Chains A and B, each alone.
Chain A
């Protein structure tokens, strides 16, 4: 059934165009901003370090990425905060 759906929508494993698009979006975000992927990782680590001075955050849940709005590039950091129960434990 999923095979039929894939054939209908052109999605699924066989759609190399979809892979191409996803790879292009990532590579262009780095090309346009002149931020190499390794630098993004360093930025993330620095953010985690600064935030951790004030709030307890789990580094594995922090996400830093570049996204495009038209031709404009934005750096977005998503830092999930610990729930109240966990915060209480840390007190």
Chain B
């Protein structure tokens, strides 16, 4: 095994980086892959609660960096999937507790015995972001169909290219197809045209994500969750399968609008 190291990043906060990391990790593990998720958001640890592993933490990333724990001791085994692990962030320290070279060293140690290493990046473009991308082979850029999130995604893509980590692949999260159809939400085609990057996944807005996060069971584990299916689709694409994209992008909308118009006409 030689792991592929992917950083999940966005620039803007609150677009769903941590949710995406947990769910893509789960979805890859469901395909029998060995996955290690690393929370690099030092001081604002959250991947543990999203994965439902917060009660199992003994050691964290900073403990490994500072030599208080071996890497293996800080790897928390998932309670549902046998080949999924989490290395949690430290909660009480700041981003300066680790350096880019620490991340490279940790990932190099993990690489030979892992299929995928997913690094959850903090928001922003400073030290924490530099740490998160230092060891990565490629990046997953998470955005929402909103002006500010797309603008920040563009900035991140530029920085990734400057660091020769780019251009990365795009995941558009929290899409509301009915708003796209109405012309009140940026369509996937528009975002791809503006950012000029490859698409990896389209995640619909789905309340099952909130509910599953409340319970600490990522939505990718729920066969009925639409967002969960979208994350499983991403895992399939990462494995090289040609998984088609769902029609969340309004491409089908002219026909749908016509149909709705006829329907409305019929009512009046």
* Cβ–Cβ contact A10 & B250, under 8 A: yes
Contact A21 B194 (CB under 8 A): yes
- Complex CA–CA separation, A71 to B154 (angstroms): 9
Inter-chain contacts of A15 with B (CB < 8 A): 183-184
Residues of B within 8 A of A24 (CB): 147, 150-151, 186, 194
Contact residues of B: prevailing secondary structure: helix
What size tier do the contact residues of chain A reach? Answer: 20 to 34
How far is it, in angstroms, between the C-alpha of A16 and the C-alpha of B146 when the chains are bound? Answer: 11
Which of B157, B195, B196, B253 contacts A10 (CB under 8 A)? B253
Q: Bound state CA distance, A10 and B187, in angstroms?
A: 11
Contacting pair A17 B261 (CB below 8 A): no
The stretch that binds B, out of A27-35, A43-51, A53-61, A83-91, is: A27-35
Interface: B1 (CB within 8 A): no
**Which residues of chain A in 52-89 are interfacial with respect to chain B, using CB atoms and an 8 Å cutoff?**
68, 70-71
Assess the A17–B185 pair: CB atoms within 8 A.
Answer: yes
> Hey, which chain A residues are within 8 Å of B186, CB to CB?
17, 20-21, 24
Q: Which 8 A-B pairs have the closest CB atoms?
A: A15-B183, A10-B183, A70-B196, A71-B196, A21-B190, A16-B184, A20-B147, A17-B186
Which residues on A are within 8 Å of B, measured CB to CB? Answer: 4, 7-12, 14-18, 20-21, 23-25, 27-28, 31-32, 68, 70-71
